[in-house]
Amino acid sequence: MLHSLINSIYMAEKQLVEFALEDGGKFLVEVEESEDTSSATERVALPSGRMIAEAKQTFEAALDNIKPVVASISNKFKDLGPKEMEVKFGVKLSADAGVILTSVGGEVTFEITVKWSKD
């Protein structure tokens, strides 16, 4: 019983979620099961008969949620006139939230590389 309780606290249950692409393609993602994904997903059956959750938004629509973050970072560095700029960060797919910026130890980390050249 204690082992089961510890596992339920430390090991989140996983579920398969199918995300559609705007071109009609689909792909499966294993995500942590949240308590209420009913508003963001619909239960569907795979050809094998296995039930999965189907995200109600497309993958591209989920990615649209992080575009303002990338645009904001880019706009803040524009006035410095970099030749190149690279921004790295982790994303996580969620059945109910779409795309989430991932964190390590409660913090989200952005790695920003800015390059100039002496033309």
Residue 112 has pLDDT above 60, yes or no: yes
Amino acid residing at 54 = E
Residue 98, Cβ density class (10 Å: 0-12 exposed, 13-18 middle, ≥19 buried): buried
- The number of folded domains in the chain is 1
Alpha carbon 12 to chain centroid distance? 17
What pLDDT score was predicted for residue 5? 47
Q: List the domain range (segments joined by +) for residue 51.
A: 2-115
Residue 9 has pLDDT above 50, yes or no: no
Answer yes or no: are the C-beta atoms of 28 and 48 closer than 8 Å: no
**Between the CA of residue 24 and those of 45, 58, 92, 116, what are the distances in Å?**
18, 10, 22, 41
pTM, 2 dp: 0.60
